[in-house]
Amino acid sequence: MSITADLIKLIRSKPISDADLAAAAIFALDALAAAYAGSTTPVGNILLSWAKGSSMDSRREALLLGALTHITETDDLHRASVTHPGCVVVPVALVLGEQQKTTPREMLGAILHGYEAMCCIGAGMGPTHYKVWDNTATCGPYGSAMAAASILGLNDEQTLHALGNAGTQSSGFWQFMQTDAMSKHLHAGRAAESGWLAAEMAQYGFTGSPQILEGEKGMFAGMCADPQPDAILAQPDSAWQLLQTSIKPWPSCRHTHPTIDCALELHAQWESCGKPSIEHIQIDTYQAALDVCDRANPQNEYQAKFSLHHTVASALQQGEVTLNSFDQAAREQTAALRNKVDVKVVDLYEAAYPQSWGSSVAISLQDGVQLQASRQDCKGDPELILDEKQMRLKAQGLLQYSGLNEQQAATLCDQVLGLPNSDQNPSFASEFITKIIR
């Protein structure tokens, strides 16, 4: 036996309730809406130009959909694994599910299975892995392979080979952050495509390593300085990992979200004080947030989405953080306030990470008043879940940002959220691909 084999059995023995399927539909909507929004961005235009000039098969459509989903930083985040499962798993489930004429409930079940594999394996990577490797890229192929295996009806042995070959395709370095290259979006797309390929080949008898994780030349040995293999199978009776995944209320790196949440609370207090001059802003957080988002002077929109300084300043000034909060005008507006921000790691939040992503923000005002807010968890986390009404508002906003009118956006939301009670194979993916590559 192997860790991968045990994980497959755990996933396939887990019961799926109607509530689980309804939750999977919400996450499918979240990913699809993010893809629509991503298609209208400058990076999205580059990806669409590539797609229009390429020979696109279904796997490449999943790659494109995954990459687009990851552009606006509005896709979901699983804390314990530090992965974005929606941009990898949902594209495969939608595109392959449509191709195979899968029922909606089977498609949603595949999403649950994919999230489970990706998130459980991600939880076993250990903290050092994330310093060099993008967990979404390295653990994503397992999730897409598991989802594809579910849709293709692979048996346990075939699925073991699929995950073995998914793992051997793991890749994705954080080096792109040094020059703000576009690789992060490719990470998501390739993770979706790689897992699908591995599952499809396993269907024909193509074998992969059963010990791809724990083998002496496997993933832990090659990519993890401090792996935590016991974490992968640690909670067999827990809720599905999809239900333990956070949905982003704000379009920026998830590491900025607890500080945004704090800053929005402080904005209201600051207004009630008459908005005296802010002399200093102190952010206390955990090390991973600084590793990725310690940017006092973001030079472009993408850097601003990965800046604790900018996102906090913007939330304090505007009382909101939207898709329009990161352009040049927005960055110029926050420039003076960003210079008053200090960031540091504190034990309280460092010790709780990655199970909890917390932070605090304190502001010192000109009149000597100090205001402070803290978050152990924040809006959108499973502890503070967005309800269906809030999810609809988020999704409709992203869909309308992409160019759909209000009625079109509302109809698409209804169709996706109605999947658990539908008996018709959905065509969301092909309709979207047709719309953007026309």
What integer pLDDT is reported at residue 107 of this predicted model? 98
**What token pair was written down for 369?**
């008043």
**CATH code of the domain covering residue 288:** 3.30.1330.120
For residues 26 and 46, state if they share a domain.
yes
What integer pLDDT is reported at residue 180 of this predicted model? 84
What integer pLDDT is reported at residue 111 of this predicted model? 98
For residues 227 and 364, state if they share a domain.
no
What integer pLDDT is reported at residue 235 of this predicted model? 87
For residues 292 and 319, state if they share a domain.
yes
What integer pLDDT is reported at residue 345 of this predicted model? 98
Q: How many domains does the chain have?
A: 2
For residues 350 and 238, state if they share a domain.
no
What DSSP string describes 60-93? HHHHHHHHHHTSSS-S-BBTTTTB--HHHHHHHH
**CATH code of the domain covering residue 234:** 1.10.4100.10
For residues 102 and 232, state if they share a domain.
yes
Prediction pTM value: 0.94
What integer pLDDT is reported at residue 165 of this predicted model? 98
For residues 303 and 316, state if they share a domain.
yes
For residues 388 and 430, state if they share a domain.
yes
For residues 50 and 156, state if they share a domain.
yes
For residues 112 and 225, state if they share a domain.
yes
What integer pLDDT is reported at residue 189 of this predicted model? 98
Q: Which structural domain, as residue segments, surrounds residue 157?
A: 3-249+383-436
What integer pLDDT is reported at residue 367 of this predicted model? 85
Residues of the chain with pLDDT under 50: none
CA 256 – CA 29 distance, rounded (Å): 23
156 contacts 208 by C-beta, under 8 angstroms: no
Among the listed residues 433, 412, 378, the one whose alpha carbon sits nearest the alpha carbon of residue 247: 378
For residues 333 and 301, state if they share a domain.
yes
What integer pLDDT is reported at residue 178 of this predicted model? 86
Q: Is 383 helix (H, G, I), strand (E, B) or coil?
A: helix
CA 233 – CA 211 distance, rounded (Å): 15
For residues 303 and 425, state if they share a domain.
no
For residues 274 and 126, state if they share a domain.
no
What integer pLDDT is reported at residue 90 of this predicted model? 98
pLDDT in tens, 368-377: 899 999 999 9
